[in-house]
């Protein structure tokens, strides 16, 4: 069979399951999830064995250490997958919530009801724990999911899905509710991205090049969980103790994540005081500063000069761009130019400047006097997240179960016609 025919068969099965999933009650979905967690737990020896095969091939293929670490499924990771399943089972079912309700003068009652998106396609790298996480979030939100994981993880993914399938089948769930594409050839991914009738949303999970490739080829709407070039602007009225504490937290507490600070903007009126005091602390923490000319001058050459492209770089490391700006407007313009619409903060005691910042910075999360590190499904109270959207349509910021849903209008009448 050609790739198009194979994909048509896959999406038909998923579409059929999605219709049933859309009306499945919370209790039944939770039962499946708990049963999956148990089966994963019981299958851990098989899963680890399959993973060893993948690890061995990946080593033979010269994959680097970070790659192998992401690929690895040890007991701790399997425990994590099981506990994620159980957490998701415990979350509130978002499906069926009535978001708005109006009765029109002619007597029809219009309800805007939260419903699943339908069929979601996930394209991801060789991280087999993603397989279980995505299945649990999609099923709980009533969506069917088609999974295409990195080819290096194919045996691990198959073992994980075999366990999940055994549990879901035992609960009577339709086979198309989650489908792993086992053939990881490129032509099949391309056929997947062309399946605009069969798949409602594609979410690439992985690095920049994967996301760019998927976004440029997809005929299906894509939500990107893209890089985080996050800024903190220390305004002239900032409480400098607070600013120091927040900036240190946003830079060094976990530098390798998307909500860590990559660029610190400092108002010129406090730069002379603030920069020297935080520079010492940053240095002690091992942070390399890349500064604008004024920063270089104030810090007396103890920093590297920043180039324009540095401001557009997600370091994910102990590196920080520092730039002195003339005004909140200047800071906002910098962020809207170089940022990635992720998370940006202002430290200020001036309410008007805070409002200007939150109103004009075009990012999914804007903070006043708090660390950008809070942009996270758990910290936002969503219980779990499938990622952090840096797009502006459908969902922004942390995507939990509600963001995996859309809505429809359900209209009840008693014979009304349009005059």
Binding site for a second copy (CB under 8 A): 15, 18-19, 22-23, 102, 104, 108, 110, 117-118, 200-201, 215-216, 219, 221, 223, 239, 242, 245-246, 249-250, 253-254, 332, 336, 356, 358-360, 362-371, 373-375, 379-381, 391-394, 396-397, 406-418
Q: Which residue number, 104 or 307, has a Cβ lying nearer to a second copy?
A: 104
If the CB atoms of residues 62 and 256 are measured against a second copy, the closer one turns out to be 256
Dihedral pair phi/psi, residue 19, rounded to 5° = -60, -40
Largest Cα span, the chain: 79
- Residue 54 beta carbon to a second copy: minimum distance, rounded to whole angstroms: 33
Is residue 38 within a helix (H) or strand (E), and if so which, with residue range? helix 26-42
CB nearer to a second copy: pick between 143 and 155 = 143
CA 299 to chain centre: 37
Least spacing, CB of residue 199 vs a second copy, in Å: 11
Q: Label the pairing between strands 109-116 and 98-103.
A: antiparallel
Q: Considering beta carbons, is residue 288 or 411 the nearer one to a second copy?
A: 411
Instruction: Work out how close the CB of 332 gets to a second copy at its nearest, in angstroms, rounded to a whole number.
Output: 7
Nearest distance, CB of residue 319 and a second copy, angstroms = 19
* Cβ-contact 79, 374 below 8 angstroms: no
Could you count the other beta carbons within 10 Å of the beta carbon of residue 280? 12
Residues 6 or more apart in contact with residue 392 via CB below 8 angstroms: 341, 362
Please identify, using beta-carbon distances, which residue of 56 and 411 lies nearer to a second copy. Answer: 411
Taking the complex as a whole, the smallest distance from the CB of residue 186 to a second copy amounts, in Å, to 20
Residues 6+ apart with CB under 8 A from 394: 221, 223, 403, 406
Toward a second copy, which CB reaches closer, 162 or 360?
360
| Cβ-contact 275, 295 below 8 angstroms | yes
**Closest approach of Cβ 65 to a second copy, in Å?**
27
The residue whose two tokens read 């399959």 is 50
Q: How far is CA 258 from the centre of its chain?
A: 9
Q: Decide whether 10 or 303 has the Cβ nearer to a second copy.
A: 10
Measure CA 220 to chain center.
Answer: 18
**Residue count of the chain:** 419
Minimum CB–partner distance for residue 167 and a second copy (Å): 25
Helix (H, G, I), strand (E, B) or coil at 151: helix
Are 323 and 301 within 8 A, CB to CB? no
Q: Alpha-carbon distance 310 to 315, whole Å?
A: 9
| Residue closer to a second copy, measured from CB, 64 or 102 | 102
- Nearest distance from residue 177's CB to a second copy, in Å? 15
CB of 153 to a second copy, least distance (A): 28
CB of 417 to a second copy, least distance (A): 4
Determine contact, residues 33/139, Cβ cutoff 8 Å.
yes
From first CA to last CA, the distance across the chain in angstroms is 53
* Comparison of 294 and 407: residue with beta carbon closer to a second copy: 407
**Closest to a second copy by CB, 5 or 253:** 253
Is-contact 132 40, C-beta < 8 A?
A: yes
Measured from the CB atom, is 105 or 172 closer to a second copy? 105
Write down the least CB distance from residue 406 to a second copy, Å: 5
User: CA-CA distance, 281 to 47, in Å (whole number)?
Assistant: 45
Tokens of 372: 């950008």
Which residues 6+ apart lie within 8 Å of 326 measured at CB?
A: 267, 268
């Amino acid at each position: 069979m050609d790739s198009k025919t194979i994909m048509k068969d896959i999406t038909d099965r998923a579409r059929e399951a999605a219709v049933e999933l859309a009306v499945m009650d919370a209790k039944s979905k939770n039962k499946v999830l708990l049963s999956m967690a148990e089966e994963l737990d019981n299958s851990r020896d098989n899963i680890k064995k399959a993973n060893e095969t993948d690890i061995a091939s990946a080593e033979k293929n010269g994959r680097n250490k970070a790659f192998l670490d992401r690929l690895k499924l040890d007991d701790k990771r399997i425990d994590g997958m099981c506990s994620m399943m159980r957490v998701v089972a415990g979350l509130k079912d978002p499906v069926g919530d009535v978001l708005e309700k109006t009765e029109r003068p002619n007597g029809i009652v219009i309800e805007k009801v939260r419903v699943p998106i339908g069929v979601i396609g996930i394209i991801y790298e060789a991280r087999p724990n993603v397989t279980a996480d995505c299945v649990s979030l999609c099923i709980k939100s009533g969506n069917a999911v088609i999974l295409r994981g990195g080819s290096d993880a194919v045996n691990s993914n198959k073992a994980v899905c075999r366990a999940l399938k055994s549990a879901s089948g035992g609960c009577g769930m339709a086979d198309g509710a989650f489908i792993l594409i086992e053939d990881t050839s490129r032509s099949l991914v391309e056929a997947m991205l062309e399946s605009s009738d069969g798949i409602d949303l594609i979410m690439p999970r992985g690095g920049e090049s994967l996301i760019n490739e998927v976004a440029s080829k997809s005929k299906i709407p894509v939500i990107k969980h893209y890089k985080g070039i996050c800024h903190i602007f220390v305004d002239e009225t900032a409480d400098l103790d607070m600013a120091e504490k927040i900036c240190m937290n946003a830079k060094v507490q976990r530098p390798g994540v998307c909500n860590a600070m990559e660029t610190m903007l400092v108002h010129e009126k406090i730069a002379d005081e603030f920069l020297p005091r935080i520079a010492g602390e940053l240095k002690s923490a091992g942070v390399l500063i890349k500064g604008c000319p004024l920063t270089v001058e104030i810090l007396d050459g103890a920093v590297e000069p920043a180039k324009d492209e540095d401001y557009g770089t997600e370091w994910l490391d102990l590196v920080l761009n520092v730039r002195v700006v003339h005004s909140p407007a200047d800071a906002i313009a910098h962020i809207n130019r170089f940022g990635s619409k992720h998370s940006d903060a202002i430290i200020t005691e001036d309410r008007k400047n805070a409002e200007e910042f939150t109103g004009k910075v075009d990012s999914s999360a804007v903070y006043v006097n708090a660390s950008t590190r809070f942009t996270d499904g758990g910290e936002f109270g969503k219980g779990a997240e499938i990622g952090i959207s840096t797009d502006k349509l459908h969902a922004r910021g942390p995507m939990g179960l509600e963001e995996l849903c859309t809505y429809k209008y359900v209209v009840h009448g008693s014979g009304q016609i349009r005059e």
